[in-house]
Amino acid sequence: MFKRILITGATGFLGHHVLPVMRKEFDAEIIAVGSRNYDLLKPGEPDRMMQEIKPDCVLHMAAKSGGIIDNKARPADYFYQNLFMNLHTFEAAFRHGAKKFMTFMGGCSYPATATSPIGEDQMWKGLPQIESAGYSVAKLMNLTQSWAYRVQHGFNSVVLIPGNMYGEWDNFNLTQAHVIPSLIRKYLEAEERGDPEIIAYGTGKPTRDFVYAGDVAATVPWFLKNYNSSDPVNISAGKRISIRELAETIKKVTGFRGKIVWDTSKPDGQMDKIFDVARLHSLGLSCDTSLEDGLRRTTEWFIKARKDGTVRL
């Protein structure tokens, strides 16, 4: 189907999960690159990358992502960097003759007023929550660009929408991390220090839909081989859990013996965000790793990676 597949962001969180799956599923030359190979924020660099590699398929995963605290502090960085990378990498792939382009956007791009379970048809019915609007709106432009190039040029591009991803190789920096890696690190370090409590952000009342990154990665080859539409697809478990329940589950997995104190001065974000996965299931796909199993794998990896010095702290 493809002779040469370019994967950007291959050294990132999702990239670590996707790369081995791609090498197993495709009898093609896989060129995996990261920011050390090509700085996609540098003008002309996406063009140079496409010209040198000449891929017939591009899986674009390079992105700037982070938790709600960092998004609130640096919305301009999240907006500019994601918009620049996506816009120019997409255009360069088209101009240099790629047959297919696939990328990802976040579920936070859905409107703040979206009702759960959130179906793909709700994407254009309002603005994203303000706390992550810089990132969310930049990612939302992926859909617009995919639609526009398909209509005008017949360019085949696909946009997938993972739920709240977690797993090995995530970012555990407490300023930038999402809730799961942040709590795993807090619990383990507090237990080692003998701290009687940890601080969790918000009220614990919001509900979320978490998906193990390995499950998302497992769907990627199918979409590259079989899906040829600019209609987005939610890739998630479709299961609801409150942040408070999540915190208790991670506490159990990590073995922390202290108590959880909730800092209600920190933002909760959207109160209920569960993804409708009917379209995913209609394609014969699903994300089935249980939350507790995924959390255990992630915790075990973090313990080893911290010891080896290979984790982002």
Active site residues: 135
Bridge partners (DSSP) of residue 5 are 30, 57
Given a contact cutoff of 8 angstroms between Cβ atoms, the answer to whether 299 and 188 are in contact is yes
Q: Helix, strand, or coil here: 206? A: coil
What sections of 154-197 are H helices per DSSP?
179-193
C-alpha distance from residue 116 to each of 107, 209, 273, 279, 280 (Å):
12, 10, 6, 15, 16
Nearest Cα residue to 7 out of 96, 145, 97, 103: 103
* Structural tokens at position 6: 């370019």
Which of 207, 287, 294, 195 has the alpha carbon at shortest distance from 250? 294
Phi, psi of 90 (to 5 degrees): -60, -50
The angle formed by the CA atoms of residues 198, 199 and 203, to the nearest 5 degrees, is 130
The length of the chain, given as a count of residues? 313
Find out whether 101 and 90 touch, Cβ atoms under 8 Å.
yes
Give the DSSP H/E element, type plus range, for residue 208: strand 207-208
